[in-house]
Structure 1
């Protein structure tokens, strides 16, 4: 990395993937993952209808090495690991845990999918037989500095350790678990929830540390960030202030934007700097017609979920958006730099995701108050959009400023006037936002699509509409006031009615 141009450091960080393939046999019941016709019919067009999304060819995709599912081991907050843990790990042989020949039942598929959920997308060198603890200490300092949640027994459930060769330990990054594991107040771990790893704080500090480590001057630091932003966030056809900033970033301000998020909010790839996403939970997925806050992908059957998984495990970077490619390198380099899910891996993961059910609120509040809140929910016509039993009507609403297509059964004319940037000015922007499910809202700490508020009390506080408001969630203005506009429903209720309504919502 030392000899690379600064603008390419980010590409190297994300694409020097060292995992290599699963050897599995085919199964006629497993849908084919990479099907371009189904990609075409299964993804919403962009808000700018002139920009067409093209995935790489099926031939190229299936030439990319399959990902190896090595057994993963817990990563402990340094200092809290069992005595002799790393010496024991260094003595372990590599073990591949995904074996399709062992899958005999639906329960087996779900169990195998949970392994894929924990499978890191990329690994990096962590420790070898010399026992150098420097990297371990650095990670300990970093995790403490960002206040990463710690589960029971000192485990950091967002990261994994992997043995790919006896005498060498690797650190696993970017598994599904990194964004969708949630450490609960009792230090247990909920899988598939709105994750609470402070990803953007880690990412912002990593960028800052890289700039300092490589002693980059302002010009080189800017080039470095441009490389990151192109790969992760740029939508070259869009002309707005956020996209213009990413073309000529101010390094310190860019880092401050990452640091302005809160756990449960992240600048995921395909969003835009300054327009992050509240991490969704993964419960009742089979009942959801659209995926992503912007409804970018349809969820018609399990094969759609498989394709969505592949896109979100780095293949999105290989797309062409009207000729713009986040990763513009030739196919020969793509083949060396990426790994892919096998059809069986993606199928198993989809089976696991479809199996996830929400956790019931252990403290639902007084029964009478919840019952009154249900009445208010109906009286205020909340159920028109948040329709039982899943408390979403599975439709799309137009973002402010978007001239929508003719409204049909899946879209309607009501615009709730929340911030439109994600829906209009990003690679995931369709011009719409989907109606989210309210089931499990009690267990979320980032609300609205950008995670601007962190509690129902804040959501129903009319003061958030004012220009002097300081949100407790993501603040695009960093340390200055920001009005959280839109979704005005319930703001005019009196205090007692709001209390009842919130009690009902927390019971879902």
Structure 2
């Protein structure tokens, strides 16, 4: 026994050294986030290939302050918070929650990544030292007026309460959950989904309120909007009416377009006014070859997802597009204006995103109907683009008016099918590659905005042939703001009879 113990103790030491070494190797395996060569090699060419995308230099990027991950607290619809909640928060000390030295296992990284997913980028004053009930009541009235989704426990999962200084409560915004948290009909919250925060209604409503309160003349209002839109949507090398609208917006029409968006759709930066983006869900993302609606970035490994996340949290404003910079301020100002993820934070976030899986549909149709729908799906051309098991072929589909180059065909997975939907986002924006990414149909039952700009809000509407007629008014985003707008393209399945269509939709909702 004594001999066995002597052998056993060195074995423990050796095993411990191995585990420590393994942990260090894992730390060393974290990709360098802002590696220019990898950023540029991942970025697909723009439609105009003479316009090259140049990220901000590595030495400047490294000087941008890293974000600090503070503990966050639930943000309640004012009036639904627990009694004494704000008074309790005012007594809390700031607490840091991300410590890379404590991350030992895959599960540790995923849990830490969820904290980064909810880590806000921006902080707005909320309560200083005392609770202003009148202000809270006004906030509640505004949120009610725009139909802000509220969970069953009274929280609004798109915001967080943050304490960065004792005695001061701030509202944290622009976290990943802003776009990808969804309040379900039963009041539960799904993370990683196509979110339902009303971005553009708040943005457009805020612009309108500013114009009205300032009593701006129409010309002054248009100038104000053009200054805002330049950084958000400007792409001056593109000659198209959408970019002319960005340069010289008629303010009433511009705001009407913003207010015409629906939950799950937003005019994100680098899109273009009148061609917003339907927010994707983040499920099964590890298996996807391209990132963004336009396939803007190759997804070769976790490092690419890390970089894509950083670009989408405003770092693409610092890009140069053939000399055009969305943010024209000097580097000395950018270093004060921006914050950035640490490499470890972005790595943890990406680990968490990779862990996300779709919610199964709790309300499936009868098995016989689903089986019939599956047979229709497999017999029709659906399966060519939406190939099992991911229900996407992981390819890019060229849009109307764009012909892939020989080089593109060699470098990228390009479908020979053009679905002939509206090409504006793919051709006339800073994200414009000439392609749309073929979406996965897994979890499509839980999306309220379909197609690349969210023109339709249900599968029934998607498969309604009337949507292609000139007198059609879509229930989703409508660039004509309440006037008829034909939702062209993707004609597959429109000629099915009623029973076959019912079966196909039952199958799609089972995925």
Q: TM-score range by the shorter chain?
A: over 0.9
1:110 and 1:320, CA in 2 relative to 1: closer, same or farther beyond 3 A? Answer: same
Does structure 2 retain, via aligned residues, the 8 Å contact 1:127–1:135? Answer: no
**C-alpha separation in 1, matches of 2:372 and 2:460:** 17
Q: Distance in 1 between matches of 2:323 and 2:143?
A: 39
Cα distance in structure 2, aligned partners of 1:120 and 1:427: 25
Q: Report the equivalent of 1:447.
A: 450
Give the SS at the match of 1:30.
Answer: coil
Structure-2 residue corresponding to 1:198? 198
* Equivalent position of 2:463 in the other structure: 460
| Deviation, structure 1 residue 416 | 0.6
| 1:137 Cα deviation after fit | 3.3
Q: CA deviation at 1:220?
A: 3.1
Task: Please say which of residues 337-346 and 93-102 is displaced more in the overlay.
Answer: 93-102
In the other structure, the counterpart of 1:403 is 403
Deviation of 1:404 (Å): 1.5
Structure 1 residue ranges, 4+ long, deviating more than 6 angstroms after superposition: none
What is the alpha-carbon distance in structure 2 between the residues aligned to residue 47 and residue 219 of structure 1?
A: 33
2:182 paired with 1:182: yes
**Is the partner of 1:75 in helix, strand or coil?**
strand
1:300 equivalenced with 2:303 (yes/no): no
Partner of 1:64: 64
Does 2:251 match 1:248?
A: no
Q: Which residue of 2 aligns with 1:496?
A: 499
The 1-side partners of 2:322 and 2:290 are apart by 23
Comparing 143-152 with 274-283, greater Cα deviation is found at: 143-152
Within 5 Å, which residues of 2 pair with 1:280-299? 280-299=280-299
Query: Which piece of structure 1 moves more, 491-500 or 400-409?
Result: 400-409
Q: Which residue of 2 aligns with 1:13?
A: none
Matched residues in 2 for 1:44 and 1:203: separation? Answer: 30
Aligned residue number for residue 54 of structure 1: 54
After superposition, the C-alpha distances for 1:275-318 in whole angstroms (9 at most, x for unaligned) are: 00111000000000001110001110000011001101110100
Query: Is this contact kept in 2: 1:460–1:491, CA < 8 A?
Result: yes
**Superposition deviation, residue 27 in structure 1:** 3.3
Structure 2: which 5+ residue stretches go unaligned? Answer: 1-25
User: Is the CA contact (8 Å cut-off) linking 2:381 and 2:492 kept in structure 1?
Assistant: no
In structure 2, what is the equivalent of residue 171 of structure 1?
171
Q: 1:499 to 1:228 in 2, by over 3 A?
A: same
> How far apart are 1:134 and its partner, in Å?
4.8
How do 1:97-496 and structure 2 match up within 5 A?
97-406=97-406, 407-408=409-410, 410-496=413-499
- Note the C-alpha offset of 1:198: 1.3
CA-CA distance at 1:222 after TM superposition: 2.0
Encode CA deviations 1:258-279: one digit per residue, 9 max, x unaligned.
1101101111111111000111
Per-residue displacement from partner, 1:44-63 (whole Å, max 9, x unpaired)?
01111111000001100010
- Find the aligned partners of 2:171 and 2:216 in 1 and give their Cα distance: 26
| Secondary structure, aligned partner of 2:440 | coil
Is the 8 Å Cα contact of residues 127 and 133 (structure 1) preserved in structure 2? no
* Whole-angstrom distance in 2 between the partners of 1:431 and 1:214: 41
CA distance in 2, matches of 1:127, 1:277: 34
What TM-score comes out, normalization by structure 2 length?
0.93
Which whole-Å CA distance do the structure 2 matches of 1:212 and 1:463 have between them?
39
| Displacement of 1:152 | 1.6
**Unaligned runs of at least 5 residues, structure 1:** 1-25
CA distance in 2, matches of 1:483, 1:240: 20
Alignment partners' CA distance in 1, 2:312 and 2:138: 28
**Bigger Cα Rg:** 2
CA distance in 2, matches of 1:133, 1:209: 23
Residue-pair matches, total: 483
**Residues in 2 aligned to 1:213 and 1:29: alpha-carbon distance in whole angstroms:** 53
CA distance in 2, matches of 1:506, 1:141: 36
- Cα drift, residue 246 of structure 1: 1.3
Is contact 1:30-1:344 (8 Å) kept?
A: yes
- The TM-score with structure 1 as length reference comes to 0.93
Larger proportion of helix: 2
Q: Give the secondary structure class of the aligned counterpart of 1:336.
A: helix
The answer as to whether partners of 1:235 and 1:427 remain within 8 angstroms in 2 is yes
Structure 1 residue 203, shift from structure 2 partner: 1.2
Query: Is the Cα–Cα contact under 8 Å of residues 90 and 167 in structure 1 kept in the other structure?
Result: yes
More displaced 10-residue stretch of structure 1: 83-92 or 135-144: 135-144
State whether residues 98 and 112 of structure 2, in contact with CA within 8 Å, keep that contact through their aligned partners in structure 1.
Answer: yes
Deviations 1:139-186 (A, max 9, x none): 322211110111021101111111111111111111110110011111
Secondary structure at the counterpart of residue 509 of structure 2: helix
